[in-house]
């Protein structure tokens, strides 16, 4: 069985092999889509940013929409990895919430902040009339809300977060705060500005 698996992983697809890494190309696409939005990004923009010709693009992806959705999925994967790594450093529930807020507030600063969040961007630009985009946004938002709620519950269980407020309500408010941070980040707040929002939000946990 090991042999068969080894053979499978070693197996190459027939024909000329691709000369670029899909994920690296998507990382470039994410930057363009985040800054200019879906409709504001042309295939020419993507060709330049990803260093590919139209032929290679359309062999790797069905159409522009597929490039966008793949970028969205890759974005979620990368951001979730950053978040998970940060959460592992936390000592209790309250610390986890704090670190999560800081991940969002850091992402809202400077160049990355002006570039923006692909989830927020997709929600604002596409969710109203594109079902596929709306589903991914909805799933992403639910996931983030659920995570926040779990962190709050953990903090309430370990005593680091007050239990006098419903965890679900607290999570929804914090969800609103993090997306708001991403919106405010588009016009470039100062680090002090962003961290004051995080600090104020944390007072809710007392």
Partner DNA sequence: CCTATTCGGAAACGATCGTTTCCTATTAGG
Partner DNA sequence: CCTAATAGGAAACGATCGTTTCCGAATAGG
Q: Does 200 participate in binding a copy of itself (rule CB under 8 A)?
A: yes
Alpha-carbon distance 22 to 20, whole Å? 6
Question: Binding string, 6-45, against a copy of itself, x = CB under 8 A?
Answer: -----------------------------xxxxxx-----
Interactions with a copy of itself, residue window 87-116 (CB under 8 A) = 114-116
Q: Does 206 participate in binding a copy of itself (rule CB under 8 A)?
A: no
Closest CB 14 distance from DNA, rounded Å: 4
Of the pair 40, 159, the CB lying nearest DNA is at: 40
Out of DNA, a copy of itself, none, which partner does residue 12 contact, by CB within 5 to 8 A per kind?
DNA
DSSP reduced 3-state for 162: coil
* Cβ 76 vs Cβ 119: under 8 Å: yes
Token pair listed for 132: 């596929």
* Cβ 74 vs Cβ 61: under 8 Å: no
Q: Pick from 28, 23, 60: which is nearest to 45 by CA?
A: 28
Q: Does 114 participate in binding DNA (rule CB under 7 A)?
A: no
Q: Does 131 participate in binding a copy of itself (rule CB under 8 A)?
A: no
Question: Binding string, 140-179, against a copy of itself, x = CB under 8 A?
Answer: -x-----------------------x--xxx-xx-xxxxx
Binding segment (CB under 7 A) for DNA, from list 54-62, 76-84, 97-105, 123-131:
54-62
The CA distances from residue 181 to 19, 116, 146, 156, 187, in Å, are 39, 10, 19, 25, 11
**φ, ψ at 5 (rounded to 5°):** -65, -45
Alpha-carbon distance 119 to 100, whole Å? 16
Placement of tokens 């104020």 in the chain: 200
Q: Does 111 participate in binding DNA (rule CB under 7 A)?
A: no
Q: Does 11 participate in binding DNA (rule CB under 7 A)?
A: yes
Strand extents, DSSP E, the chain: none
Placement of tokens 């793949």 in the chain: 70
Of the pair 45, 145, the CB lying nearest DNA is at: 45
Distance of CA 179 to the CA centre of its chain: 11
DSSP reduced 3-state for 3: helix
DSSP reduced 3-state for 129: coil
Q: Does 56 participate in binding DNA (rule CB under 7 A)?
A: yes
Catalog residues that contact a copy of itself under the rule CB under 8 A. 35-40, 114-116, 120-121, 123-125, 127-129, 134, 137-138, 141, 165, 168-170, 172-173, 175-184, 186-187, 193, 196-197, 199-201, 203-204
Catalog residues that contact DNA under the rule CB under 7 A. 11-20, 41-45, 52-56, 58-60, 63-65
């Amino acid at each position: 069985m090991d042999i068969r698996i080894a053979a499978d992983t070693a197996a190459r697809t027939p024909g000329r092999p691709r000369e670029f890494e899909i994920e690296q190309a998507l990382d470039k696409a994410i930057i363009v889509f985040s800054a200019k939005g879906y409709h504001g990004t042309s295939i020419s923009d993507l060709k330049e940013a990803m260093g590919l010709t139209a032929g290679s693009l359309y062999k790797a992806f069905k159409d522009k929409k597929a490039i966008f959705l793949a970028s969205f999925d890759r974005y979620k994967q990368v951001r979730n990895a950053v978040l998970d790594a940060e959460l592992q450093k936390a000592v209790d529930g309250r610390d986890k919430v704090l670190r999560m807020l800081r991940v969002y507030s850091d992402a809202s600063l400077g160049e990355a902040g002006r570039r923006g969040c692909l989830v927020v961007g997709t929600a604002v630009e596409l969710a109203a009339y594109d079902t596929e985009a709306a589903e991914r946004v909805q799933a992403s938002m639910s996931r983030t809300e659920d995570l926040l709620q779990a962190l709050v519950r953990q903090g309430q269980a370990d005593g680091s977060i007050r239990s006098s407020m419903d965890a679900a309500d607290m999570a929804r408010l914090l969800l609103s705060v993090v997306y708001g941070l991403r919106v405010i980040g588009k016009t470039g707040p100062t680090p002090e500005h962003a961290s004051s929002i995080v600090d104020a939000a944390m007072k809710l946990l007392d």
